[in-house]
Chains A and B, each alone.
Chain A
Amino acid sequence: MDLILLAFTDYTLRTVIMGTALLGIVSGALGSFAVLRKQSLLGDAISHAALPGICLAFLVFMTKSPFLLFLGAVGAGWLGTIMMMLVTKHTRLKQDAILGIVLSVFFGFGLVLLTWIQRMPNASQSGLNTFLFGNASTLLVEDVTMMAVLGVIVLVILIAMWKEFKILSFDPDFAHVSGFRVTALDVTLTTLIVVAIVLGLQTVGVVLMSAMVIAPAAAARQWTDRLGLMVVVAAIIGAFSGVIGALISSSVPKLPTGPTIVLVVSAFVMGSLLFAPNRGLLWAAYHQYQNRKHLRAQTVLANLFSLAQNHDDPHYPHDIAALRAIGHAAFSQAMRQLESESMVLHHGEDLWGLTDKGIEKAQSVAKDIDS
């Protein structure tokens, strides 16, 4: 409660909340396209590849100006992406191997630079290592302003080129046949994804930023079958995860922001995988249970009906033992269900017979099986 109150009054906290909400929205929205295009791992490679760019930008300009560091990160992330595309095109290496190589080469180089920078005899470099695991409390107003400006630009382009990005993601060949320049579209969308990733690096860190691209989209996909809604839901989940994670990490001393945010967004993913209607695991399990129950009841009904055919009276009650002989062990439950639907009548003891409604139903079941 105090935290929520603080959020509206405390200047630093408000900056943090705005920053993390922004990064969540942008990475959630663009992440949806990365996930749908099966480029989830590309995000991981891009974020790791950005580290040497940040370090180089710092070494060249000797400043921690957010925009210059951003440019360095985008440049390196981009270079990594281009290298992946080139190697994919010109060698027989598989995509996952190439992603792994580019990721580790760039990240390794970044770590070397980072270690070197930290040994340098001047004080201005302190804090650059927050780019590893992220630290929301280092967000300044100028950082958030830049995130807001770039975030809005990214989202405006996304909305303006919505139709183009949709056809590119669903069927790139058809996009080509329809007269769109697929390579240009691909480069544009990938650039937007790079920018979305880089925007979150200071807060979430290069190591875990890809989770903010993949997880909100994966969670959102569970809840909707419409692209537009998926992007909106992913943006909302991203924003909430960012804000909640940042608030938790800033209220516990020395708790890095990135891992906290990632744990929060993972909870969203877990919840969505389990509880979402239609695609959720619980929903699927419940449906399977219902289907099985239904099938079992229908089998019992059909069996009762075929037994009654031996008598003139279709209502003729039979002993449960006779039904068991036909097969189907667990049917006291099925019997109770049929009774509740007034398909069968309990004639006392273990004797059960069909009602008129049950006969009608059994006949239609038999017809379904025949056809």
Chain B
Amino acid sequence: MSASSSGKGNIPAIEVRDLTVAYREKPVLWDIDVSIPQGVLLAVVGPNGAGKTTLIKAILGLIKPAAGQVRVLGKPYSRHNRMVGYVPQRGSVDWDFPTNALDVVLMGRYGHLGWFRRPGSRDVELAMAALEQVGMAEFAQRQINQLSGGQQQRVFLARALVQDAPIYLMDEPFVGVDAKTETAIVDLLKALREQGKTVVVVHHDLQTLTEYYDWALLLNVRKIALGPVSEVITEDNLKVAYGGRTAIGVL
């Protein structure tokens, strides 16, 4: 299943070319060119409204771009459905939906099952293992509206884990979680990288960048910098991304 085979290691995991996304004439992403190599743990950073979530959604084909192309492991996304595991923002679903944690994690198997086939005992085993991995095994039967924010986030992570994809896209998995959950998630991200997977995470906290990630993409409607964290997170780059914006805000 793992597609990060060494033979095609030089194909970028994600390649975005000339990507422009606009909501009602106002560009959210402007002429983005990004090439993310395989096997990196990359943070997407930038101020609010920089288009971080939009970039993730455009890569996944959830948003139609005004222009540009996205390639995942060298192929257009639509032909590569099971290549990407996805952790959406926690607030994107209604947690009062009548279901339990295990059932949500099982949804991560639906892509492998395809149309009409129901999850079987093998899928339940995988889902339980994933819940175990995020420290949520004892909450498997728990109603999802009775989970804390951090626990809900972990359920989403477990759901992505059972997708067993070579590439992971995660939208702000650290929002609203306690320190313990944050550590657990970071360990998980690093474990995924050790397995040779490519992990792209929308991240907010500039303080923890060097500690958590090896690559970073600095974004503010346009691409500002992409590369190893130490090269991207420089004072000049940050001033371009954040500083200019603040100056305009003050004026």
Q: A171: which of B57, B107, B116, B117 is its contact (CB, 8 Å)?
A: B107
Per-residue CB contact flags for chain B residues 86-109 toward chain A (1 = under 8 Å, else 0) read: 101000111001111000100110
User: Nearest B residue to A162 by beta-carbon distance?
Assistant: B118
Per-residue CB contact flags for chain A residues 165-184 toward chain B (1 = under 8 Å, else 0) read: 01101110111111110000
Q: Do B107 and A167 touch across chains, with their CB atoms under 8 A apart?
A: yes
Q: A163: which of B57, B60, B113, B143 is its contact (CB, 8 Å)?
A: B113
Q: B93: which of A160, A171, A224 is its contact (CB, 8 Å)?
A: A171
Q: Do B92 and A163 touch across chains, with their CB atoms under 8 A apart?
A: no
Nearest Cβ on chain B to A162's Cβ, whole angstroms: 8
Q: Do A170 and B107 touch across chains, with their CB atoms under 8 A apart?
A: yes
Q: B111: which of A170, A177, A226 is its contact (CB, 8 Å)?
A: A177
Is A161 an interface residue when CB atoms closer than 8 A count as contact?
Answer: yes
Is B17 an interface residue when CB atoms closer than 8 A count as contact?
Answer: no
Interface size on A, residues (CB 8 A): 27
Among B115, B118, B159, chain A packs the most CB atoms within 10 A around the CB of B115
**Taking A176-B60, A178-B111, A180-B110 as contacts, is the C-beta distance between A225 and B98 under 8 angstroms?**
yes
A180 CB contacts on chain B under 8 angstroms: 110-111, 115
Interface size on B, residues (CB 8 A): 32
User: Nearest A residue to B99 by beta-carbon distance?
Assistant: A227
Is A143 an interface residue when CB atoms closer than 8 A count as contact?
Answer: no
Q: Do A174 and B107 touch across chains, with their CB atoms under 8 A apart?
A: yes
Q: Do B92 and A171 touch across chains, with their CB atoms under 8 A apart?
A: yes
Q: Do A226 and B98 touch across chains, with their CB atoms under 8 A apart?
A: yes
Q: Do B116 and A178 touch across chains, with their CB atoms under 8 A apart?
A: no
Q: Do B92 and A36 touch across chains, with their CB atoms under 8 A apart?
A: no
List A residues 210-234 near B (Cβ within 8 Å): 221, 224-227, 229-230
List B residues 72-94 near A (Cβ within 8 Å): 81-82, 84, 86, 88, 92-94
Is B119 an interface residue when CB atoms closer than 8 A count as contact?
Answer: yes
Is B9 an interface residue when CB atoms closer than 8 A count as contact?
Answer: no
Nearest Cβ on chain A to B29's Cβ, whole angstroms: 18
Q: Do B116 and A161 touch across chains, with their CB atoms under 8 A apart?
A: yes
Q: Do A179 and B81 touch across chains, with their CB atoms under 8 A apart?
A: yes
User: Nearest A residue to B117 by beta-carbon distance?
Assistant: A163
List B residues 116-156 near A (Cβ within 8 Å): 116-119, 143, 145
B61 CB contacts on chain A under 8 angstroms: 176
Q: Do B110 and A178 touch across chains, with their CB atoms under 8 A apart?
A: yes
A171 CB contacts on chain B under 8 angstroms: 88, 92-93, 107
Is B179 an interface residue when CB atoms closer than 8 A count as contact?
Answer: no
Is B62 an interface residue when CB atoms closer than 8 A count as contact?
Answer: yes
User: Nearest B residue to A169 by beta-carbon distance?
Assistant: B97
Residues of A within 8 A of B (CB): 36, 38, 160-164, 166-167, 169-171, 173-180, 221, 224-227, 229-230
Q: 14 A-B contacts, Cβ less than 8 Å apart?
A: A36-B94, A163-B110, A163-B116, A167-B110, A170-B93, A171-B92, A173-B60, A173-B92, A178-B108, A179-B111, A179-B114, A221-B98, A227-B97, A227-B99
Known: A178-B163, A226-B100. 16 other contacts (CB 8 A): A36-B98, A161-B116, A163-B110, A164-B110, A170-B93, A171-B107, A173-B57, A174-B159, A176-B60, A177-B62, A177-B81, A177-B111, A178-B81, A179-B114, A180-B115, A224-B98
Instruction: Please list the 3 inter-chain residue pairs (A to B) with the smallest Cβ-Cβ separation, ordered nearest first.
Output: A179-B81, A178-B111, A177-B86
